[in-house]
Structure 1
Amino acid sequence: MNYENPYMKGLTYSKLNILETLRQRNPLVICITNDVVRTFTANGLLAIGASPVMSECSEDLKNLIVHASALLINIGTLTPDKVSYYKDAIALAKKHEVPIVLDPVGCHAGAYRLSVVLDLIHTGSISLLRGNQSEIKAIYDALNPDNKKDDSTTGKGVDGAQIEDSAVIAYRLARLINCPVVAT
């Protein structure tokens, strides 16, 4: 379907359709994700035209990363061994210029999770931070010493609460960490 619009500068709708472009490219997305959402993540990526692959060891990742268009790290089922793997994965992705999406599951519910997320953010290699509003606020509060800490965030995991001014917090956090932030 061709759609003429003066603001599109001669491009047709099909050239601007992001999903169509994604389907044509069929990018490999390496997912280091939690046990709970593994199938959902794979099916969601397949549905939009990406090619997901789940990885849980460094040897496997070394072979896959050279073909990857993105790396997803979801810390939902966190263990000390996985933290080392996350760091190895980030280093490999950075070496091969692969964008990294970090999902800081439950980081607002406990100090250990939050410290892991902050450590991963401090690598300077995260390309996109995506979390619920409570997770994003917890990260912002931890990184912004000038901010009065407000412990009013509720929720224990993916069930984070609605946060007043979440868009402002996401914007400010994005500027603090020099990375786009999505708060759901």
Structure 2
Amino acid sequence: MEENIYNNTYSLLKLIREKKPLVHHITNYVTINDCANIVLAIGASPIMADAVEEVEEIVSLASALVINMGTLSKEHVEAMLVAGKKANELGIPVILDPVGVGATAFRKKGAEKIIKEVKLAVIRGNMSEIKSISGISVKSKGIDASERDIIQNDNLEYGKDISEELALKLNCVIAITGVVDIISGEGKTVFIDKGHKMLSTVTGTGCMCTSLIGAYCAVSRSYFEAAIAGILTMDLAGEKAYKNLKTIDEGSGSFKMKLMDSIFNFNHLLKNIILR
């Protein structure tokens, strides 16, 4: 299974770099620049357009649509719905990142409306966000997962049950990222135990991961495989970035820069793993 995951990811990465698909984002202003740069680093092309007057035209040119609820407004929700419905009409995959969905009633209502009216290919979130979408009561810690909701080896089965049930209910891929990642879809579930804790010290690594999933969805016939590829890319690049820190004086700023470099050079990193 692990060998297949690496090989599938490598094949999809080659397609991204050959086709350079356009990935349309309606995302948040905290991480918008990082998401655009991570899409460029993997080899795709980003466009960050959220004006309701133009999103139908923009998404018509794209190969994937990423919806990120990080800095939500009434206007954002309207644009997300318009773009999502147009993407559905054109057969373009829609990837939802329900940032902090359990934090406020406004976010929860917005997510419910999007999920009800737009057919989603992938939902990626932390455990608290996925539980909230599933209708399970959560004690939110802002936009972060609460301590008890962090997926680790001792609560994998609990996370797997929630992920699989929601994937079946919504007929889409559910990706829960944490210390251990859980991806459910197409009647299967995969766990990824990779990455590094330094990823949690940089704002927006979850958002960037969702953008990577969007890039892979743009070239894949299997959104399940695309979600795995996006998460594996972030995890392995995080490990590589940490290894490339040269002194104890290098912290989260250096890590972020090296993370972007690792994504840019991910074809070499992944090829070396496959050839071991």
Asked if residue 156 in structure 1 is aligned to residue 142 in structure 2, the reply is yes
Give % identity: 34
- Report the more deviating stretch, 13-22 or 74-83: 13-22
Matches within 5 A, 1:83-98: 83-98=77-92
Q: Which has the higher contact order (CA 8 A, sep 6+)?
A: 2
172, 176, 180: which one aligns with 2:173: 180
Aligned partner of 1:80 in structure 2 is: 74
Asked if residue 166 in structure 1 is aligned to residue 159 in structure 2, the reply is yes
Consecutive unaligned residues of structure 2, counting only runs of 5 or more, are 178-276
The whole-number CA distance in structure 2 between the counterparts of 1:59 and 1:150 is 36
Q: Give the root-mean-square deviation of aligned CA atoms.
A: 2.3
TM-score by length of 2: 0.56
The whole-number CA distance in structure 1 between the counterparts of 2:9 and 2:120 is 29
40, 44, 51: which one aligns with 1:46: 40
Query: Cα gap change, 1:24/1:155 in structure 2, threshold over 3 Å: closer, same or farther?
Result: same
- TM superposition shift of 1:76: 0.8
Asked if residue 66 in structure 1 is aligned to residue 60 in structure 2, the reply is yes
Aligned partner of 1:101 in structure 2 is: 95
Letter in 2 for 1:155: K
- TM superposition shift of 1:15: 10
Matches within 5 A, 1:97-136: 97-136=91-130
Query: Cα gap change, 1:61/1:154 in structure 2, threshold over 3 Å: closer, same or farther?
Result: closer
- Contact in 2 for aligned 1:14/1:20 (Cα 8 Å): no
The whole-number CA distance in structure 1 between the counterparts of 2:13 and 2:38 is 13
- TM superposition shift of 1:122: 0.9
Q: How many residues end up aligned between the 2 structures?
A: 166
TM-score by length of 1: 0.81
Matched residue of 2:54: which SS? helix
The whole-number CA distance in structure 2 between the counterparts of 1:160 and 1:87 is 29
The whole-number CA distance in structure 2 between the counterparts of 1:117 and 1:15 is 29
Matched residue of 2:25: which SS? strand
Consecutive unaligned residues of structure 1, counting only runs of 5 or more, are 1-6, 143-148
Asked if residue 29 in structure 1 is aligned to residue 15 in structure 2, the reply is no
Letter in 2 for 1:167: K
- Contact in 2 for aligned 1:32/1:72 (Cα 8 Å): yes
Bigger helix share: 2
- TM superposition shift of 1:25: 1.1
Letter in 2 for 1:134: S
The whole-number CA distance in structure 1 between the counterparts of 2:8 and 2:110 is 42
Q: List 4+ stretches of structure 1 deviating above 3 A.
A: 13-16, 158-161
- TM superposition shift of 1:56: 1.6
Letter in 2 for 1:170: S
- Contact in 2 for aligned 1:105/1:135 (Cα 8 Å): yes
